[in-house]
Amino acid sequence: MKILFNPFFLLFVIVGLLFLLRFLLIRTGLIYMTKKWWRSIEDCLHVYQFFKVPEFNESMQENQLYSKVSVYLNSLASMEDSNYTNLFTGKKSNDIILRLDPSQVIDDDFLGARVSWINEVKTDTTHSRAFVLKIRKADKRRILRPYLQQIHTVFDELEQKKKRELKLYMNINGDQNQNRRWRFVPFTHPSTFETIAMESDLKNKLKSDLESFLKAKQYYHRLGRAWKRSYLLYGPSGTGKSSFIAAMANFLGYDVYDIDLSRVLGDSDLKLLLLQTTTKSVIVVEDLDRFLMGKSTAVSLSGVLNFMDGILNSCCAEERIMVFTVNSKDHIDPAILRPGRIDVHIHFPLCDFSAFRTLANSYLGVKNHKLFPQVEEIFQTGASLSPAEIGELMIANRNSPSRALKSVITALQTEGDCRGSVDVGRRLLDGGSRNSTEDSPDHSGIFSKENINVIKDIKKLYGLLKLRSSRKAPSFDLTPGQRDV
């Protein structure tokens, strides 16, 4: 009995019990249950206020504060303490990014006060998302505004540390989600103005035009106009229109919104898509002529016109570039092409010798070659291929520049030469069918196989061996009133 009352023995027992309790709490997870119970007791003793940060505002436009809160929460160390956290790979293969799971809570401390964020995701048809800030009412007046300011500051610091990661947005079917109509993936297209095949003078004019746009906010507002600019890219398929759009986005550092008109439910739905785009973005509608001529979309011509230059566009298209692509302007309604809706028309012809030299330098690393004079001579006969076709030949033979150039020469002497001859035959005989979806305004399309014999007869009859390309005319056209912008 004396041992039981020995102070050293009692101290040893107490230490042992505490060690055992600590072991049980940590090893068995009881400590987390204890924290949860204690937090429930605290919640009963305090009054809380809740502030919701929805993903979209009342006008169905993206709430910028939501994006900033998301970036801020992902930077917190307490993100790892959440019960459910999603793990993703970052831009680099060895980067790990944590994302909060729906309905999970993350805690944060600010100026001695504890706040909580709840990731709220509704499971109804809207699938709306929001972050809910939970803060003690007693702390609200003291920390709310400074805390929100801290979120802005941290967001700006994180954005400055890393280069802004561009995104490619694609519209989804309207019946899937009325609120969130865009899905995005990282925009990693490598195209730049240095890699695209385009005349250097035209390329410099376009770069200068884009740079002027970036600095022209006050100028546009002084004129009472929305700060936006519209481009029409026209030319046959494979001439580099999509690569030019990517180069434009990389040059500006803008996100890309690619609108698929076949997924648009109607004119109102097209307006909703415009509402949900953000500033510093390139809005793209490809193959506009195909959709309007083929009636493969529920959007009317009036809806397209309002999308390009309506009152909603003037209010919600600030700091945006709009790009429309067509294969030919011949069948486009003049109302679409008028100044104000389209500011800059850019023609993308089939490849000429100047563009060929750019492709050879990009694909083969060759700036000059003994076969270049022969290639130039063939181009002067009127033969041509699209940049995409020439690029594929060079990729297939990239290990041998000579073999690559010979394959291009062979292709130009067959298909390309036929294209030039078709143009001659069409003008002399005024015959042949025209493929409107492949022709550009200044160049003919590809004849069908049964017309090849006609082409050969024309060449024999008229002995046309040389034809100067007419593609040297300027193709960069600023609309009136926009030349000094």
pLDDT at residue 326 tops 50: yes
What pLDDT is stored for residue 6 in this prediction? 66
What pLDDT is stored for residue 421 in this prediction? 42
pLDDT at residue 432 tops 60: no
Q: Could you read off the pLDDT of 240-258 as tens digits, one per residue?
A: 999 999 999 999 999 999 9
What's the whole-number mean pLDDT along residues 20-37?
Answer: 64
| Cβ(84)–Cβ(93) below 8 Å | no
Sheet holding 167-171, edge to edge: 182-186, 167-171, 255-258, 281-285, 320-326, 228-234, 344-347, 476-478
Classify burial at 35, counting beta carbons within 10 Å of its beta carbon; exposed 0-12, middle 13-18, buried 19 or more.
exposed
What's the whole-number mean pLDDT along residues 54-61?
Answer: 77
What's the whole-number mean pLDDT along residues 438-456?
Answer: 37
Q: How far is residue 217 from each of residues 43, 209, 212, 239, 308, measured CA to CA in Å?
A: 50, 14, 10, 32, 19
What pLDDT is stored for residue 31 in this prediction? 60
pLDDT at residue 418 tops 60: no
Q: Could you read off the pLDDT of 286-312 as tens digits, one per residue?
A: 999 888 887 777 888 899 998 998 888
| Cβ(459)–Cβ(467) below 8 Å | no
In 3D, which of 194, 171, 342, 179 has the Cα closest to residue 256?
171
| Cβ(84)–Cβ(113) below 8 Å | no
% of residues, the chain, pLDDT over 90? 22
What pLDDT is stored for residue 257 in this prediction? 96
Distance between CA atoms of 366 and 369, rounded to whole angstroms? Answer: 7
Distance between CA atoms of 363 and 356, rounded to whole angstroms? Answer: 10
What's the whole-number mean pLDDT along residues 182-204?
Answer: 89
What pLDDT is stored for residue 86 in this prediction? 65
Identity (one letter) of the amino acid at 198?
Answer: M
* Confidence label for 456 from pLDDT (cuts 50, 70 and 90): very low
Distance between CA atoms of 60 and 368, rounded to whole angstroms? Answer: 55
What's the whole-number mean pLDDT along residues 122-148?
Answer: 83
pLDDT at residue 436 tops 50: no
User: Kind and range of the H or E element at 99?
Assistant: strand 96-100
What pLDDT is stored for residue 141 in this prediction? 85
pLDDT at residue 461 tops 50: no
Stretch among 357-371, 403-417, 448-462 having the lowest mean pLDDT: 448-462
pLDDT at residue 318 tops 70: yes
The verdict on pTM exceeding 0.75 is no
* Confidence label for 407 from pLDDT (cuts 50, 70 and 90): very high
What pLDDT is stored for residue 175 in this prediction? 56
Distance between CA atoms of 251 and 246, rounded to whole angstroms? Answer: 9
21 versus 286: the higher-pLDDT residue is 286
pLDDT at residue 445 tops 60: no
What pLDDT is stored for residue 13 in this prediction? 74
Round the average pLDDT of the chain to a whole number and report it.
77
Contacts of 55 (CB under 8 A, 6+ apart): 62, 63, 66, 128, 129, 130, 179, 180
What pLDDT is stored for residue 96 in this prediction? 65
| Cβ(436)–Cβ(330) below 8 Å | yes
What's the whole-number mean pLDDT along residues 380-403?
Answer: 90
Paired residues of 185 in beta bridges: 168
